[in-house]
Amino acid sequence: MTIADRDTDGDTHGDTHGDTHGDPITAERPTTVAEAADLIRATDEPLLFRGAGTKQSWGGWPAPATVVETTNLTRLLAHNPADMTVAVEAGMPLRDLQEVLSKEGQWLALDPPSEAAGATIGGLLATGDSGPRRLRYGGLRDLVIGVTLVMADGMVARAGGKVIKNVAGYDLTKMMYGSLGTLAFIAEVVLRLHPRPDTSTTATLDCSVQQATDLAVALLASPLEPSAVDWVQSHSDPEAGGHLAVRFEGTAAGVAAQRDAAQDLLSRLAGAAQWHADDEETTLWAELAAEQRRGPDVTAASAATLPTRTPDVASELAEAAATAGATAQLACRPALGLHTAAFTGPDDAVARAFESWRASVLDAGTGASVLLRDRPAEVDARVDAMGPPPASVVLLRSLKRRLDPDGRCAPGRLGSWC
């Protein structure tokens, strides 16, 4: 077996949290799928898979493990502009792929906050990370056509497209979405593309979270097709509400028509809007992305609920923070029911606020979920990273035993769930 690179000095390559809270890291960097398979097959140690390391802190902290990186798996394997598909190795950064695709007037319709930090295609699939445009184009789960995986025993499995070898009875392509590296090593990904929009414009206005939710519901019920609807709670005065952004994109004529049609709806439900385009619009969405991605000193968590529960999520967050003596801010996508909460304050207060808010969100049921993302070590020591297991935990444990019977892939990432 020949491995292109191997580090044994504990280098974390810019990860804000390191990897395992354990012993110094051994990092392996295979250059081909075959090398990755040989590497995994040749050891019985625990394994941790890493792309750019932008989301290593999501979920629970894994136990000390051999790290298998996709640093050297960054090649463009095939691009078929006519079919609007592309195949890449999992370590290719999204921003690099978008640059290549732009030459053909195409793009992968994905805009996660971590793109600027070098997030890779494989990492985005493993974490289920997405951005504002998920409203129109779906998440990466909806854009993946096929995958090539290296299973925990070193077997290479391919799913989707021209299937060479698969695991009977399982949709491996969909199962990798949000798996947090606990099932297999993602080596290659085949993706569905979209034409790059000719133009774009964004309306912004100040409004309450209730107004934002009403507007999101109204937009979904109308003939309009917004690409994104984001609301961010005001920093200076949370009780005063927040800032709403609604994006339309497509052909010049189509965007102009949608802007005209949206004017009345926006003003009727939330007030007069300002419109942004070109560099001003780009800067606006970059600032909104920053609200969704915080540094390691801020405790951040994501939640998914029914869209109509957005006002309740906001009030529960405010109550949890006030009771605990912490400060919290909410950024959400009310049309999707996706929320990011950022907590600051004394460590004990932040821990209590987070646990209380998570309990409120989960108690509402209806498929709600909460995932702890970034947090300082002092807060991490005071909270249960994964929280109570979902109703589907029995299925999750069964799947884990089937695909990773020895529990080698990211042990500890899912806490006590499996």
pLDDT single digits (tens) 305-361 = 999 999 999 999 999 999 999 999 999 999 999 999 999 999 999 999 999 999 999
18 neighbors 12 (Cβ within 8 angstroms): yes
C-alpha–C-alpha distance, residues 51 and 33, integer Å: 15
Quick one: which of 229, 202, 192 has its CA closest to 107? 192
Angle, CA 166 vertex, CA 163 and CA 168 arms, to 5° = 130
User: What is the sign of the dihedral through the CA atoms of 31, 37, 39 and 40?
Assistant: positive
Report pLDDT digits (tens) over 196-246: 999 999 999 999 999 999 999 999 999 999 999 999 998 766 667 999 999
135 neighbors 333 (Cβ within 8 angstroms): yes
**Rg for the chain, CA atoms, rounded:** 22
Amino acid 277: pLDDT: 96
79 neighbors 96 (Cβ within 8 angstroms): no
346: helix, coil or strand?
coil
389 neighbors 28 (Cβ within 8 angstroms): no
The secondary structure of residue 270, as a DSSP letter, is: T
Amino acid 238: pLDDT: 63
User: What is the sign of the dihedral through the CA atoms of 205, 208, 214 and 216?
Assistant: positive
C-alpha–C-alpha distance, residues 265 and 257, integer Å: 13
Amino acid 22: pLDDT: 45
C-alpha–C-alpha distance, residues 270 and 331, integer Å: 18
C-alpha–C-alpha distance, residues 27 and 415, integer Å: 23
413 neighbors 60 (Cβ within 8 angstroms): yes
Amino acid 52: pLDDT: 93
The secondary structure of residue 114, as a DSSP letter, is: G
C-alpha–C-alpha distance, residues 101 and 301, integer Å: 32
Architecture category of domain 299-380 in CATH: 2-Layer Sandwich (3.30)
355: helix, coil or strand?
helix
C-alpha–C-alpha distance, residues 75 and 54, integer Å: 20
Q: How far is CA 199 from CA 24, 176, 255, in A?
A: 49, 33, 7
Cα–chain-centroid distance for residue 271?
Answer: 31
User: What is the sign of the dihedral through the CA atoms of 183, 186, 192 and 197?
Assistant: positive
Amino acid 224: pLDDT: 95
**What are the E-state strand segments in 258-368?**
274-276, 299-304, 327-333, 338-344
Which pair of tokens denotes residue 127?
């974490």
Contacts of 261 by beta carbon, 8 Å cutoff, 6+ apart? 222, 223, 224
Residues 97-136 as b/e (b if ≥16 CB within 10 A, e otherwise) read bbeebeebebbbbbbbbbbebbbbbbbbbbbbbbbbbbbb
Architecture category of domain 76-195 in CATH: 2-Layer Sandwich (3.30)
End-to-end Cα spacing for the chain: 32
Quick one: which of 16, 7, 20 has its CA closest to 52? 16
Amino acid 17: pLDDT: 33
C-alpha–C-alpha distance, residues 329 and 314, integer Å: 9
Amino acid 2: pLDDT: 31
Decide: residue 249, CB within 10 A, 0-12 exposed, 13-18 middle, 19+ buried: buried
Q: How far is CA 369 from CA 184, 305, 365, in A?
A: 23, 7, 9
pTM: 0.90
Quick one: which of 114, 251, 130 has its CA closest to 195? 251
C-alpha–C-alpha distance, residues 221 and 215, integer Å: 10
Place of tokens 């950022």: 342
Q: Where are the alpha helices (DSSP H) in 107-207?
A: 121-127, 134-137, 140-143, 172-175
**Which residues does the chain have with pLDDT short of 70?**
1-25, 161-170, 236-239
Q: Tell me the CATH number of domain 199-292, given options 3.80.10.10, 2.40.160.20, 3.40.50.1100, 3.30.70.610.
A: 3.30.70.610
The secondary structure of residue 109, as a DSSP letter, is: S
